[in-house]
Structure 1
Amino acid sequence: MAVFKRANRKSKPWGFQYSYKANGISKQKTSFYKTRKEAKAAEAEYLTSTGGPVKIDPVITFADWYDKWLHTYKIRSVSELTMTKYATSGTIIRNYFKGLKLIDLTRMIYQQFINNYIDDGYGHKHARQSVQKLHSHAHQAIMAAADEGLIRRDYAAHAELGGTAGRSEDTKFLEADQFEKLRDYVDQFANPQRIALMMVQTAIYSGARLGEIGGLTWEDIDEKKSTISIDKTFKYRFVIRNADGSWPEREKVFGPTKTPSSVRTIKVSPVLIASLHKLILADRIKAISNPYHLLFLGPTDLPIYSNGVNKELRRALKHLGIERPGFGFHGLRHTHGSYLLYKGLDIQYVSHRLGHENVGITTKIYTHLLDAMTQKQDEKALNVL
């Protein structure tokens, strides 16, 4: 009995082969499938129907299996931040399924779980992206259970996903003229007494993520070359100062960037460099403990959290008369990229500057803008021809 893959076969490359006896004669039967999951499911079903050695655990709950899978396969392979997202999904799974045994899970029960997360009927609704993320986490655990032979098949394979539309494109980006007005505003008012506004200024000129900006140190700023080096993030969710006010070890303060490709050195405007120069001078004369030379220490002597920078951003937008309900700090990153593309910069350059894993991610994020630019190019082509 075996699951195998046929070489150079595009149509149903995965096979499941088993032996049986007919009239005292040993025979073999082979069935072929499109995917390995289908072949493994056939194997599990065969073992169950024939009383074979399926490793079904009649006791373990789905929630317990998810936790076991998470701490076996993910704890060493994902960042702490990603691990917290998986753990959050685990809490949602446990709250819904409670004591449901893994062996009692069915496709219908799983679909009801997804439906409830989309809209529980009591005013709690989730966006399509949130539904897809939860499903991705739960599905991985269910696939692992099927591979282990703990359940007969992957009951989440064909789940129908939905959810609200989420934020519109208008809440993710500023228009070019709005972006320029905001840039001019922060250039005028950002100073070492308004740390959150300086973080907004840094996001405008760099397109960096909040964690990347929070993790910037004096040494990351090269004033002569007008560059910023991004090679770490500040662990917003995990950093707690010691009881005596001292800092924990470096590995508890800084984490890796989102992906290896997020490590980058980028050119920035001399305007931002001059602003950061003033901040570094101010930091150096402060009588506070800052052993890691963090740039953006707020009133609590820690980098300002998202609530603080978003409050300062909303204040600036209100002052400028820019109405963008739902627009947040991360939107500055999206707007930075869209503004550069709008100004004609190459998408490959923008992708590298933002630290995207590949240019496909950049294309997906800025589809609306690229479509509009293509339309303009089409119009120019028609005029030329």
Structure 2
Amino acid sequence: MASIWKHPRSRYWSACFTDASGRQRKRSTKETDRKKALKIAEAWEKEYRVTRTEEQTRKVFAEIRREIHGETTLDQSIEQYLQEWLTSKKKEISGATWSKYEYAVRHFCDWLGETREKDLSALTPALIRRWRDALAEKLAAKTVNNALKVLGVALGQAESSEQIERNPVSKVNSLKLDTVTRPTFTLPQLKRILSVAKGEWYGMTLAGLYTGQRLRDIATLTWGSVDREREELTLITSKTGRTVGIPIASPLMDYLRKEPTPIDGGVPVFPDAYRTVVEQDRTGTLSNQFYGILVNAGLAKPRSKKSTGTGHSGPRERGGLSFHCLRHTATSLLKNAGVSEAVAMDIIGHDSKAISTLYTHIEVDAKRQAISKLPDVTSGSLSSGQQ
């Protein structure tokens, strides 16, 4: 039973209680009021008693499972469970997605320190919440929420297999998403990029700007998606699985006409970029290459080679110019030209399935007219609508 004691030379009461291991503990309450100090002592012992009861219950449960089934995964540490779960996912998801899973698990275990050696019952909503907040100090809210979701999936499986009573992540709220202005390129900046973009990157930059598609979809574009006669591009976006039909802007069409058209429609338009994505199953290398172009164009500072501790698969620092800004730029240019939001979103392809469904009946002529309003960044005058 908890009690309190005060050293003759101290003004504070100390709590005397039994911890989860059954050991007698003594700790200062920093209270001068006897009644308040006793309440603190009783609360501490109650908390330890609950923890001890949970651990004892789990051990008994594990013993019963062991007698029936032999060795049980209930004996696993937090790190052992998460690593085995991660390994099981490797054949079920893409390499890029697995890298995100791996980062979340690795960062969580590193953050836990010695606690990662404890069993899964040591994971509480409060602990998960502290990890979430630690991540939020250096990463964007969306990235933190994705990491939290990964951990929730892992521990959800543990709950389903009765390794834990409930998933602690289910009691942790996601962060409110950042409200930020997405960066776009100005027309002079686009000309500077094109002036230093060599080989495939010249065409990929034009494709990113005039279609608004993501880097992976541009890099894996094949000639079968390009209709030269109708001057249209048709592809299925990798993120949403939506089929997008886009009239090809004149500057991009001029570039494509200069390239030889193979008989096999499966041949990639940008072979080197295609090979990189297929071999690595991610676009990190291509993103770094484009960042190098931005540096050469004087639009970004060289990145430090000093280790950040996140690894190559870890998330980047928030903000800054990137290939994805071409997507934002395309949206901005269309809207500034007076193109309706419905037409602009149908051209770019929206992440929301509801909006995608709403915009499926936009006529090709309407989109062609919208694309014609985009400026020609390959010309000297940058006048709108040049053919």
**Fold similarity call, TM over 0.5:** yes
Task: Give matches, 1:55-204, under 5 Å.
Answer: 57-70=73-86, 75-76=91-92, 78-97=93-112, 98-119=116-137, 125-159=138-172, 168-170=180-182, 172-174=183-185, 178=186, 180-182=187-189, 189=195, 193-204=198-209
| Residues in 1 aligned to 2:173 and 2:211: alpha-carbon distance in whole angstroms | 39
Q: Deviations over 1:309-351 (max 9, x none)?
A: 22224544649xxxxx811111111221232233333333333
The answer (yes or no) to whether the contact 2:223–2:265 under 8 Å persists in 1 is: no
2:220 corresponds to which residue? 215
Change in Cα spacing, 1:62 to 1:338, as seen in structure 2 (3 Å) is: farther
Q: CA deviation at 1:117?
A: 2.6
Question: Unpaired segments of 5 or more residues in structure 2?
Answer: 1-53, 66-71, 278-284, 301-318, 357-387
Aligned residue pair count: 264
Q: Aligned to 1:305, what secondary structure does the other structure show?
A: helix
- TM-score relative to the length of structure 2: 0.56
| Residues in 2 aligned to 1:111 and 1:299: alpha-carbon distance in whole angstroms | 40
Change in Cα spacing, 1:318 to 1:105, as seen in structure 2 (3 Å) is: closer
Change in Cα spacing, 1:344 to 1:217, as seen in structure 2 (3 Å) is: same
Q: Equivalent pairs: percent with the same residue?
A: 20
1:266 maps onto 2:246 in alignment: yes
1:308 maps onto 2:323 in alignment: no
| Residues in 2 aligned to 1:277 and 1:345: alpha-carbon distance in whole angstroms | 27
| Residues in 2 aligned to 1:354 and 1:194: alpha-carbon distance in whole angstroms | 25
| Residues in 1 aligned to 2:104 and 2:331: alpha-carbon distance in whole angstroms | 31
The answer (yes or no) to whether the contact 1:182–1:317 under 8 Å persists in 2 is: no
| Residues in 1 aligned to 2:335 and 2:128: alpha-carbon distance in whole angstroms | 42
| Residues in 1 aligned to 2:331 and 2:254: alpha-carbon distance in whole angstroms | 23
The structure with the largest alpha-carbon Rg is 2
Q: Deviations over 1:135-162 (max 9, x none)?
A: 1111122233223322122222233555
Q: Which consecutive aligned stretches of 4+ in structure 1 deviate over 6 angstroms post-superposition?
A: 51-56
Partner amino acid for 1:65? Answer: Y
Change in Cα spacing, 1:339 to 1:317, as seen in structure 2 (3 Å) is: farther
| Residues in 2 aligned to 1:128 and 1:345: alpha-carbon distance in whole angstroms | 31
Change in Cα spacing, 1:182 to 1:230, as seen in structure 2 (3 Å) is: farther
Q: Deviations over 1:94-122 (max 9, x none)?
A: 33343231122222322332233334xxx
Change in Cα spacing, 1:116 to 1:346, as seen in structure 2 (3 Å) is: same
Q: CA deviation at 1:209?
A: 0.9
CA RMSD of superposed structures (Å): 4.0
Partner amino acid for 1:309? Answer: F
Partner amino acid for 2:244? Answer: R
| Residues in 2 aligned to 1:269 and 1:216: alpha-carbon distance in whole angstroms | 16
Change in Cα spacing, 1:90 to 1:99, as seen in structure 2 (3 Å) is: same
Q: Aligned to 1:230, what secondary structure does the other structure show?
A: strand
Change in Cα spacing, 1:265 to 1:63, as seen in structure 2 (3 Å) is: farther
| Residues in 2 aligned to 1:231 and 1:160: alpha-carbon distance in whole angstroms | 33
Change in Cα spacing, 1:190 to 1:222, as seen in structure 2 (3 Å) is: farther
1:379 corresponds to which residue? none
The answer (yes or no) to whether the contact 1:337–1:350 under 8 Å persists in 2 is: yes
Q: Aligned to 2:162, what secondary structure does the other structure show?
A: coil
- TM-score relative to the length of structure 1: 0.56
